[in-house]
C-alpha cells in the first residue's frame, strides 16, 4: 500500500500536485485520464460524446479498477469516485487523498467543462455536480486535505508530512 491516489473535483489540482509530490517522494506519476485516452485512442470528451456519461463512467471504472502500480502517485479524473469497483481497488492498493476546495474556487479555476472532458449531464450545472460528488469524495477518502488559499508547495508538504506520519522529508 505504498501508492497515493488523489481525488477531487476537476480543477482541484490533482495532476499538478501529483507531479510535484511524485518528484518530492521519488514516486512514479500516473494521470488516469491520460491512461483512459491511451487505452481508448480517444479524448475524454469524444468518449462522452460517443457513449454518454454512463458509458464514460463505465470505461473509467474499468480502467481504474485494472491499474497495477507500485510507489505511484495517481491523479484520478473527477468522476472516478462514481466507479465502485475502481475505488475499492484503489483503496486496497493505496491511500486515497481528497483534495478539497470550495465551489467558488473550483468555479474560478474551470474553463469550458465539455472541452475539459468533465462528465456533466445535460442541464446539470457545475454547482449541481459539485454537490453530487462531495459525498463520494468524502466517503472514499482516507485523508482530506483542505487546499483553499494554499500554494502547491504547501499542499505537497502537507501531504508528504501526513503520509510520513509527521516525519519530515
Q: What is the pLDDT along the chain (169 residues), one digit of tens a residue?
A: 689 999 999 999 999 999 999 999 999 999 999 999 999 999 998 999 999 999 999 999 999 999 999 999 999 999 999 999 999 999 999 999 999 999 999 988 886 665 666 777 888 888 999 999 999 999 999 999 999 999 999 999 999 999 876 544 3
Please report the pLDDT score of residue 118 as a whole number: 74
CATH 3.40.50.300 fits 3-163, yes or no: yes
User: What DSSP state is assigned to residue 12?
Assistant: S
Closest CA to 107 of 10, 18, 16: 10
Going by DSSP bridges, is the β-strand pair 28-31/94-100 parallel, antiparallel, or unpaired?
unpaired
Please report the pLDDT score of residue 113 as a whole number: 63
User: What DSSP state is assigned to residue 7?
Assistant: E
Please report the pLDDT score of residue 124 as a whole number: 85
Q: CB within 8 A of 83, min separation 6: which ones? A: 57, 60, 61, 64, 65
Please report the pLDDT score of residue 28 as a whole number: 97
Please report the pLDDT score of residue 119 as a whole number: 72
Q: CB within 8 A of 142, min separation 6: which ones? A: 91, 95, 96, 97
Return the SS3 of 117. coil
CB 26 within 8 A of CB 19: no
Amino acid at each position: 500500500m505504498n501508492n497515493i491516489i488523489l481525488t477531487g473535483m476537476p480543477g482541484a489540482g490533482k495532476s499538478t500536485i501529483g507531479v510535484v509530490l511524485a518528484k518530492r517522494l521519488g514516486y512514479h506519476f500516473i494521470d488516469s485520464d491520460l491512461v483512459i485516452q491511451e487505452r481508448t485512442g480517444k479524448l475524454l470528451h469524444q468518449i462522452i460524446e460517443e457513449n454518454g456519461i454512463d458509458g464514460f463512467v463505465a470505461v473509467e471504472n474499468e480502467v481504474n479498477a485494472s491499474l497495477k502500480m507500485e510507489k505511484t502517485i495517481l491523479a484520478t479524473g473527477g468522476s472516478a469516485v462514481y466507479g465502485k469497483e475502481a475505488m475499492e481497488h484503489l483503496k486496497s492498493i493505496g491511500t486515497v487523498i481528497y483534495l478539497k476546495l470550495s465551489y467558488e474556487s473550483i468555479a474560478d479555476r474551470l474553463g469550458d467543462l465539455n472541452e475539459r472532458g468533465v462528465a456533466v449531464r445535460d442541464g446539470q450545472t457545475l454547482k449541481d455536480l459539485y454537490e453530487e460528488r462531495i459525498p463520494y469524495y468524502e466517503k472514499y477518502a482516507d485523508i482530506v486535505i483542505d487546499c483553499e488559499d494554499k500554494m502547491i508547495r504547501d499542499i505537497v508538504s502537507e501531504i508528504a508530512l501526513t503520509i510520513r506520519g509527521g516525519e519530515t522529508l
